[in-house]
Structure 1
Amino acid sequence: MFNDRLRQEMKKAGRDLLPMALIFMDLDGFKGVNDTLGHDYGDLLLRQVAERLLQSVRNTDTVARLGGDEFTVILSELKDNSDVVRIVQEILGNMSTPFHLQTELVEISASIGITLYPEDGGDAETLIKNADQAMYAAKQQGRNRFNYFAPFMQEASQMRIQLANELREGLKRGELRLVYQPIRNLRNGRVEMAEALVRWEHPQRGLLIPAQFIEVAEHSGLISSVGEWVFEEAASQIQRLQTAAGTSFQVCVNKSAWQFRHESVSVSHWIELLDKFALAPHSIVIEITEKLLLEANREVARRLKSLRDAHMQLSLDDFGAGYSSLAVLKHFKLDYLKLDPGFTSNPHLCEAITTMAHRLGIKVVADVSKRRTSWRS
């Protein structure tokens, strides 16, 4: 019905010479509600979202749910383009107002993409694609906002697809590399840890850092393969590092929140790899983000517990960038806190956090130099 209505409104816009707009909306945080409260609450939330959408638009507009948490709105017969901004701002305001789901109070937001007819496209498929790309750009800019479609977005989308295909081939050709950031123990001055950092040696683009390809890996589903490669490569190199620095030497390996949510973390496979290289479980420290802990559902919590049961250690990356509580730190029994770089310029704040962490039995890691050498206490 949505597709039929969209084509009808496009014909009407061409006949009456009144432009129309297509809005593509995706909910920010919906998956967290589904995972933590269950699908029944997720369904309740979708119903309330639909009701608020209907309240935000005019009687002549069309609201549809395409699937999952994706909604579209057809704004027809626009006499003034400012009407689009007014309606979209009302939608964003209504979506960011807390939802009452039985006994639960839930806060989400929305990311919205806008495309105009006939300026941005002459057929329904193009308009839908353009609105989707504009919505993606809104998410990239921080969520809870809207973005109009622009031609460069199509180019950016094509570049992401191309980069994903190149990464897929790069994995097969062995183009990924590991570099290590040393971590020095302040008590004895020795380097006793290192963080494994992945790089992609692209044949045309040169050496790429994670910020240039990890997001593409997550959206294309390649992050699981990248993560497994990093773990196995680190495990294969730890023997050499431990021979040089001592058997207690550890390597931190980052694990994407995407992996914990979307993939079954194969702890047994990791243990098999450690056994293969005759390494103790504590040789590798799994580094996770605050966001993962704050949004952890039962399955994520189970996977994290399985790491603890296997005697592997956990490190929390960029502590202080989010909203972690002491209860979260105690519940997940972390071994290391890695301070957000913004804290290291404030020695009093560093001292307070370090004292707190030590009382909880947690060690602290911080980057304190431009040479990318960290210290641990």
Structure 2
Amino acid sequence: QDRLEQEMKRAVRNKTTLALLLIDLDKFKDVNDSLGHAKGDQLLIETTRRIKALIRDSDTFARLGGDEFTIILPGNDSLININRVVENILKEINKPFDLNDGHVGYISCSIGITQYPNDAKTVDDLLKNADQAMYAVKATGRNGFSFFTKEMQQAVQNKIRITNELHEAIRQKQLEIYYQPIIDLATNQLVKAEALIRWNHPKKGLISPAMFIPIAEESGLIIEIGGWVFIEAIKMAQRIQQTSNKLIPISVNKSAIQFNRPRDRNWLEFLDSSGLPRGAIIVEITESSLITDSENVKNQLMLFKELGIEVSIDDFGTGFSALSYLNKFDIDYIKIDQSFIRNINENQSNRALTEAIITMAHKIGIKTIAEGVETEEQHHLLKSFDCDYAQGFLYSKAVT
């Protein structure tokens, strides 16, 4: 930081600019875990040698710790020069690393770039900007570079604001659960429901989960929120049974983050103490959850199976849709995403895909639920395909 401050003062005196690069090695942990720390250290030494060979004596290179490095490029008022340095670094880091004893390491890197004085006027702000730019690369697939933009700063500030407001929303009980009925297409009877969370913001009204759930996942708040949704869904299933003497299973979305937290299982204890059968709750997961940490997810899904809790894949067809995962994880239901249903009458491809999904699912013992059904035509077509269940505005909006 001292060197950066000196270079900033020099830039002011010389009326020039400087560029700050933050480099983070992608998948370095994999090398450390698979080949050991000694090989990891060897890779870091070779990385340092390769990068130093690409920069000038007047440039400053330092390792920040772990697998992060920084470079200061003084007097660099040309984007062409910055791009050239960055592209050369990416090219060199992508080359194989000979780690001796027949071992070879393969990594890439993500580089965030910010400029003084255009982007910021202080050391802390420059480092923060470079970090934001670097994480923007990570978010879009790694192995690349990104210049800091004001939009990134606004996005981060917006994320912080929503996180703070979400903490307050939990405390003030602003989160609400709506329930959308799921209909048996063979009988037209209500047989299940899906729990859908909404944020009833005091100033902005109802906020869609698409706006705040990703931030809740990133901040870890999803653990508290998700556990609360499960508890509330169990209470609703209790009330329905008490008033109608009928069990209506309620499906609840479970984030991939929740699979990694043991204390998230408190709802299972609550379910057992409720007097309801375990089939009163259906766990909904996304296709991406199956890929994220498949062994951990598999173990928990096997536990659900042993406990008699059914599992559904939400928005099927929008993610990986790897058929091997359907057998591997012993899924009970797949929910066909509404993007397929929306134009099912007019779009031949959507119609063919929907029918194929239903047929395939039935052949391996999985039941199907169509999402977003809005017209009688869609209803009748799905029924002709032998789809098992459906939900959507045709039957009912989500209600409290």
- Does the CA contact (< 8 Å) of 1:54 and 1:63 recur in 2? no
Match of 1:59 among 32, 55, 59: 55
Q: Distance in 1 between matches of 2:334 and 2:98?
A: 35
Aligned twin of 1:249: 248
Q: In structure 1, how many angstroms separate the alpha carbons of the residues matched to 2:15 and 2:89?
A: 26
Q: SS of 1:59's equivalent? A: coil
Q: CA contact under 8 A between 2:223 and 2:264: conserved in structure 1? A: no
1:41-70 Cα offsets, whole Å, 9 max, x none, are 596679758856864672235555545665
Provide the residue aligned with 1:285 in structure 2.
Answer: 282
Counting only pairs closer than 5 Å after superposition, residues 176-255 of structure 1 correspond to structure 2 as 176-242=175-241, 247-255=246-254
Q: Which runs of 5+ in 1 are unaligned?
A: none
Give the C-alpha shift of residue 318 in structure 1.
2.2
Q: 1:174 to 1:128 in 2, by over 3 A?
A: same
Structure 2 residue 33 is matched with structure 1 residue 39: yes
Question: Where does 1:92-107 land on structure 2 (aligned, <5 Å)?
Answer: none
Distance 1:349 1:79, change over 3 A: same
- What is the DSSP-based 3-state SS (H/G/I as helix, E as strand, rest coil) of the residue aligned with 1:213? helix
Equivalent residues in 2 for 1:217-366, closer than 5 Å: 217-242=216-241, 247-261=246-260, 263-264=261-262, 266-267=264-265, 269-344=266-341, 345=344, 346-366=350-370
Compute the displacement of 1:23 (Å): 2.5
Matched pairs, number: 369
How far residue 363 of structure 1 moved from its aligned partner, in angstroms, is 1.3
TM-score, normalised by the number of residues in structure 2: 0.77
Rounded to whole Å, the distance in 2 between the matches of 1:328 and 1:104 is 32
Distance 1:147-1:275 versus aligned 2 partners, 3 A rule: same
The one-letter amino acid of 1:355's match is: T
Structure 1 CA distance, aligned partners of 2:125 and 2:177? 41
Q: Tell me: CA distance 1:81–1:125, structure 2 relative to 1, closer, same or farther (3 Å).
A: same
What is aligned with 1:6? 4
Query: Match of 1:120, SS?
Result: coil
* Structure 1 letter corresponding to 2:318: A
Does the C-alpha gap of structure 1 residues 133 and 188 become closer, same or farther in structure 2, counting only changes over 3 Å? same
Cα gap change, 1:326 to 1:100, in 2 (>3 Å): farther
Residues 1:27 and 1:210: Cα distance change in structure 2 (over 3 Å): farther
The answer to whether the 8 A contact 1:46-1:69 is kept is no
Work out whether residues 111 and 143 of structure 1, in 8 Å CA contact, stay in contact via their aligned partners in 2.
Answer: yes
CA distance in 2, matches of 1:270, 1:190: 28
| Distance change >3 Å, CA 184–CA 170, structure 1 → 2 | same
* 8 Å CA contact 1:183, 1:376 repeated in 2: no
Distance 1:168 1:106, change over 3 A: farther
User: How far apart are residue 325 of structure 1 and its match?
Assistant: 2.6
Quick one: distance in 2 between partners of 1:96 and 1:293?
Answer: 29
Distance 1:194 1:122, change over 3 A: same
Unaligned residue ranges in structure 2 (runs of 5+): 345-349, 390-400
Identity, % of aligned positions: 42
Query: Which of 8, 17, 20 is 2:18 aligned to?
Result: 20
Aligned to 1:369: 373
Q: Alpha-carbon deviations, 1:231-259, whole Å to 9, x = none?
A: 11111111233456774422111111122
Counterpart code for 1:215: P
Matched, 1:83 2:81: yes
Shift of 1:340: 3.4
Do the aligned partners of residues 140 and 273 (structure 1) sit closer, same or farther apart at CA in structure 2, a change above 3 Å counting?
same
